[in-house]
Amino acid sequence: VYRSLSQTRKMTSVALATRRSARLACAPACIIESQQAIEMHDKEDVVHQQTPDAPRKRRRVAPPIAAAAAAAVTTALMAAHSRDQEVEAFRSEQDLVKAMEHLRQADPALAPLIDAHGPPLKLLAQPGASCFMALAKSIVFQQLNGKAAGTIFGRVMALCGTPAQAEPGAPAQPAQLAAGPAGVAAGAAPDLTSPCQVSTQAAQSHAQGSGAGMPGDPAAAAGGDAAPALVLTPEAVLGAEFSALRGCGLSENKARYLVGLARAFSPAHSPQPLTDEVLRRAADEQLVTCLTALHGVGAWTAHMTAMFNLGRPNILPTGDLAVKRGMQALYGLPQEPSPAAMAQLADRWRPYRSLGSWYMWRVMESAASAPKQVKTKKAKAKI
């Protein structure tokens, strides 16, 4: 039995090592360097404890992302896009109308949805939106319903929020999320690190702009003029006590994720920090890959940030349950499509897969609001 268990452990270790090598072989250099830096940081944080009455123990401390890892991500992004060409995004309603006409011609099944719902202005890029705040809020909302997550995020904003400094003549900042639960309680956020666990209701609500409450949606602001305009900055998060963050209701892991995210965006803690400009200039695939290298940021979070914050037109959130079910309902599929099948179905939408995905949310919205037929028992005829 002992030999059998040892052999099984060895086979499992070899399989995991092979899978990891294959994954890193397909990853860009920034991810490899990031992973190596994180692993090195983990090794340095293994604490050995020796007491007279107890055997030697090993305790692993879960650190936030290493500053070297964040620097590697930023370096790769800047090197890949040093040609000084900005990625096209949805910037005006005319861009959306052009995309709608493309989808109407490429996929006639979308025509009724396009006529019924028109252009989704919420997919327009938000020039004044903060990518850091969007990612931070997504981390807070993970695995919580909207009301609880909104309360916790309101406490974080009350602790770390700083007044927004709007430029003269600038549009209202989307960071006008009130420092209270009312500003964010409208959304129900799913598990963002496990995109396949996204609920249909949460995805639909997010697509409407109030769902996961992504910063960048002015409709998410609460309290109108009475509520102070607050923004969340990396410096404010790093300046708060860790115990104070935990006191807001954050779990230990979420608090560490938030601090690690702040370090990645902070010039004082990273030689080449992530910035909104760097992320806006990154290509879609590299943007998603590098964001998911950050602890606490999953593929679904990266996709939603790219769509609703950066206005990326060609994002397909293959892990979103509502998009899967929308495709299943629209095309009459016997079961939910796999990510590969979703990519094949959405290939005709290119280069506007974000818009096509938004209409899949509308399919599920229509299905949810449709009146249910009530079955009535037929009266038996008396003989």
**pLDDT confidence of 131, banded at 50, 70, 90?**
very high
**pLDDT confidence of 67, banded at 50, 70, 90?**
low
Task: Please compute the mean of the pLDDT values over residues 23-40 and round it to a whole number.
Answer: 47
Task: Please compute the mean of the pLDDT values over residues 235-251 and round it to a whole number.
Answer: 96
Task: Please compute the mean of the pLDDT values over residues 262-291 and round it to a whole number.
Answer: 92
| Token output for 26 | 């397909």
| Model confidence at 93: pLDDT above 80 | yes
Q: What is the per-residue pLDDT for 372?
A: 62
Instruction: Choose the most confident range, by mean pLDDT, from 1-15, 61-75, 152-166.
Output: 152-166
If phi > 0 it is left, if psi is from -120 to 50 it is alpha, else beta; for residue 189 that is beta
Calpha distance 31→41 (Å, rounded): 15
pTM exceeds 0.85? no
Among 5-14, 214-223, 287-296, 338-347, name the one with the lowest average pLDDT. Answer: 214-223
| Model confidence at 155: pLDDT above 90 | yes
Calculate the dihedral angle through the C-alpha atoms of 10, 15, 21, 23, rounding to the nearest 10 degrees.
-150
Distances (CA, A) of 175 to 130, 231, 232, 308: 7, 5, 8, 13
Calpha distance 118→44 (Å, rounded): 54
| Model confidence at 3: pLDDT above 80 | no
Calpha distance 76→58 (Å, rounded): 35
Among 86-100, 159-173, 217-231, 332-346, name the one with the lowest average pLDDT. Answer: 217-231
* Residue of 200 and 259 predicted with greater confidence: 259
| Model confidence at 300: pLDDT above 70 | yes
Please give the angle made by the CA atoms of 327, 91 and 233, to the nearest 5 degrees.
Answer: 95
Q: What is the per-residue pLDDT for 24?
A: 46
Helix (H), strand (E) at residue 50: strand 46-51
Q: What is the per-residue pLDDT for 171?
A: 41
Calpha distance 91→283 (Å, rounded): 17
**pLDDT confidence of 151, banded at 50, 70, 90?**
very high
| Token output for 218 | 């002015």
Per the prediction, the chain carries an average pLDDT of: 73
DSSP per-residue codes, 306-366: HHHTS--SS---TT-HHHHHHHHHHHT-SSPPPHHHHHHHGGGGTT-HHHHHHHHHHHHHH
Task: Please compute the mean of the pLDDT values over residues 92-105 and round it to a whole number.
Answer: 96
Q: What is the per-residue pLDDT for 199?
A: 37
What is the 8-class DSSP label of residue 225?
A: G
Task: Please compute the mean of the pLDDT values over residues 55-71 and round it to a whole number.
Answer: 48
| Model confidence at 363: pLDDT above 50 | yes
Q: Quote the percentage of the chain above a pLDDT of 90.
A: 50
Task: Please compute the mean of the pLDDT values over residues 92-96 and round it to a whole number.
Answer: 94
Calpha distance 265→159 (Å, rounded): 19
* Residue of 135 and 190 predicted with greater confidence: 135
Task: Please compute the mean of the pLDDT values over residues 299-314 and round it to a whole number.
Answer: 94
* Residue of 27 and 339 predicted with greater confidence: 339
Q: What is the per-residue pLDDT for 51?
A: 39
Q: What is the per-residue pLDDT for 6?
A: 67
Q: Quote the percentage of the chain above a pLDDT of 70.
A: 57
| Model confidence at 339: pLDDT above 90 | yes
Instruction: Choose the most confident range, by mean pLDDT, from 82-86, 226-230, 279-283.
Output: 279-283
| Model confidence at 360: pLDDT above 90 | yes
Calpha distance 107→330 (Å, rounded): 11
Q: Does residue 46 contact residue 4 with C-beta atoms inside 8 Å?
A: no
Calpha distance 199→321 (Å, rounded): 6
Among 159-173, 178-192, 298-312, name the one with the lowest average pLDDT. Answer: 178-192
**Residue-level length of the chain:** 383
Task: Please compute the mean of the pLDDT values over residues 230-237 and round it to a whole number.
Answer: 94
